[in-house]
């Protein structure tokens, strides 16, 4: 009950008498109550304070209860809304509940009815909030489950993920190809408040500039040959969530300008369109290019570069985290053995040593491919991965190192 008595309630009604009566009833029950005489005023109050429950009249001049409900659901989705309505508009109140209102009160109302509806709405909102917090905490704990390794380099990466996840800042992930940059981006998203919303990934190097522009911003019907229907872009699809742009250093100058505008204004137009679309996204970008050098050469905009690197993370190459190779190899072995119906359960010490002596120019992706190759080529009865099962280039590189020849 103590929690309920701390709850803040906002009454919205254009009739002073209704505001006065409701405020008196709810204050007597221990709630902190404020009031507004119209929807616009309520929204201004919401910008300055947080309310647990809003009780609003359905019919008001200018902004009615339905419009206010829509705004509350968008701006403060955790706030409970109760609609007040006359008997003749109950059907509309029911529709409001389908939209997301917690309940409705009919006029003229009974004092006990107001108390019960308010208490139930606040209780339900509290449960939803607790559930959301619990899910978020569980998500934070599991977000780095795929980040395998106990090395100091991995500990530093996971610490950075924890630090930056709660902010809205743009993140630039730097690192060699195959070091798990997308994995880091996904972990940031899963650890953030946006975890329940979309994570959309785009490889900027995989598409031509024209296709990439359409992919990112969408297009209108008839915008170009083959545009048979309107198509939303990845920025729209990621609204409320995270957009991951891999190989950001490969985008054209024209797209750099558009991307800069989105980072500054959070708005854009579809290809061939004139309607401005606003989005709420967190942008995470990644590259293995030397962007500083690209800026010097004029290939990459300096202002965009600084917009992207508000927070910068570096994914270490596998040769700098040799102590993680055994754990990573076992992880890949378990996965591919299951996928291929093999009995392999362990990576032999000899195979681990061989892998630790290799330079891994392709990083984790190359190790993953090497273990998959070994599993596929292994005998059906084999239960341990041996050195001779690994790709020949890895065996030869190790042999050269052993004989004193630089690989």
- Same fold for the domain at 2-137 and the one at 153-316? yes
pLDDT value, residue 96: 83
Find, among 315, 312, 314, the residue nearest to 164 by Cα. Answer: 312
pLDDT value, residue 3: 40
pLDDT per position as a tens digit, 354-396: 999 999 999 999 999 999 999 999 998 899 999 999 999 998 8
Q: Look over the chain and give the mean of its residue pLDDT values, rounded to a whole number.
A: 87
What's domain 153-316's architecture?
A: 3-Layer(aba) Sandwich (3.40)
Provide the CATH topology of domain 2-137: Rossmann fold (3.40.50)
pLDDT per position as a tens digit, 186-198: 999 988 888 888 9
Find, among 136, 187, 182, 137, the residue nearest to 158 by Cα. Answer: 187
pLDDT per position as a tens digit, 71-80: 898 888 778 9
pLDDT value, residue 141: 47
pLDDT value, residue 257: 94
Domain segments of the chain: what residues?
2-137, 153-316, 319-402
Phi, psi of 106 (to 5 degrees): -95, 140
- Please give the average per-residue pLDDT across 248-255, as a whole number: 93
Q: Count of CB atoms within 10 A of residue 108's CB?
A: 9
Segment (H or E) for 297: helix 291-297
pLDDT value, residue 202: 93
Structure tokens that stand for 96 in this block: 């409001």
Segment (H or E) for 210: helix 209-217
Beta-carbon contacts of 225 under 8 Å, excluding residues fewer than 6 positions away, are none
Segment (H or E) for 65: helix 65-75
CATH node for 319-402:
1.10.8.60
- Please give the average per-residue pLDDT across 308-334, as a whole number: 94
- Of residues 15 and 86, the one with the higher pLDDT is 15
For the chain, percent of residues with pLDDT exceeding 90: 56
- Please give the average per-residue pLDDT across 219-230, as a whole number: 81
Q: Are 137 and 190 in contact (CB under 8 A)?
A: no
pLDDT per position as a tens digit, 110-162: 888 899 999 988 888 777 766 655 555 554 444 455 678 889 999 899 889 98
Q: Does 301 score more than 70 pLDDT? A: yes
Structure tokens that stand for 162 in this block: 């924890």
pLDDT value, residue 89: 64
Can you give the pTM of this predicted structure?
A: 0.64
- Please give the average per-residue pLDDT across 247-265, as a whole number: 93
pLDDT per position as a tens digit, 260-273: 999 988 889 899 88
pLDDT value, residue 50: 85
- Of residues 134 and 315, the one with the higher pLDDT is 315
pLDDT band at 1 (very low <50, low <70, confident <90, very high): very low
Provide the 3-class DSSP secondary structure of residue 286: strand
């Amino acid at each position: 009950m103590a929690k309920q008595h701390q709850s803040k309630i906002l009454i919205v009604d254009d009739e002073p008498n209704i505001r006065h009566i409701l405020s008196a009833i709810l204050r007597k029950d221990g709630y902190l109550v404020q009031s507004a005489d119209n929807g616009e005023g309520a929204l201004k109050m919401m910008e300055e304070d947080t309310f647990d429950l809003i009780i609003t009249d359905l019919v008001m001049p200018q902004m009615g209860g339905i419009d206010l409900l829509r705004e509350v659901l968008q701006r403060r989705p955790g706030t409970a809304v109760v609609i007040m309505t006359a008997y003749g508009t109950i059907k509309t109140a029911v529709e409001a509940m389908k939209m997301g209102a917690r309940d409705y009160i009919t006029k003229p109302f009974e004092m006990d009815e107001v108390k019960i509806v308010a208490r139930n709405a606040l209780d339900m909102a509290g449960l939803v909030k607790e559930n959301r917090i619990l899910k978020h905490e569980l998500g934070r704990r599991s977000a780095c489950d795929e980040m395998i390794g106990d090395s100091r380099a991995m500990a530093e990466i996971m610490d950075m993920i924890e630090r930056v996840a709660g902010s809205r800042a743009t993140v630039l992930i730097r690192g060699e190809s195959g070091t798990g940059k997308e994995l880091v981006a996904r972990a940031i998203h899963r650890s953030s408040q946006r975890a329940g919303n979309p994570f959309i990934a785009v490889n900027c190097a995989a598409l031509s500039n024209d296709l990439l522009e359409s992919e990112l911003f969408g297009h209108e019907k008839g915008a170009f040959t083959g545009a048979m229907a309107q198509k939303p872009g990845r920025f729209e699809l990621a609204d409320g969530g995270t957009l991951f742009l891999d190989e950001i250093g490969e985008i054209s100058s024209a797209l750099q300008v558009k991307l800069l505008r989105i980072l500054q204004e959070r708005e854009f137009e579809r290809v061939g369109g004139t309607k401005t679309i606003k989005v709420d996204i967190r942008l995470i970008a990644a590259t293995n290019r030397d962007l500083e050098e690209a800026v010097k050469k004029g290939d990459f905009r300096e202002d965009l570069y600084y917009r992207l690197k508000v927070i910068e993370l570096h994914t270490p190459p596998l040769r700098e985290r040799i102590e993680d190779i055994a754990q990573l190899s076992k992880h890949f072995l378990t996965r591919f053995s299951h996928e291929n119906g093999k009995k392999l359960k362990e990576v032999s010490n000899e195979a681990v040593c061989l892998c630790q002596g290799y330079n891994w120019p392709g990083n984790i992706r190359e190790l993953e491919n090497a273990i998959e190759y070994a599993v596929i080529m292994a005998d059906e009865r084999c239960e341990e991965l041996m050195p001779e099962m690994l790709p020949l280039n890895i065996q030869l590189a190790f042999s050269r190192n052993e004989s004193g020849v630089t690989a």
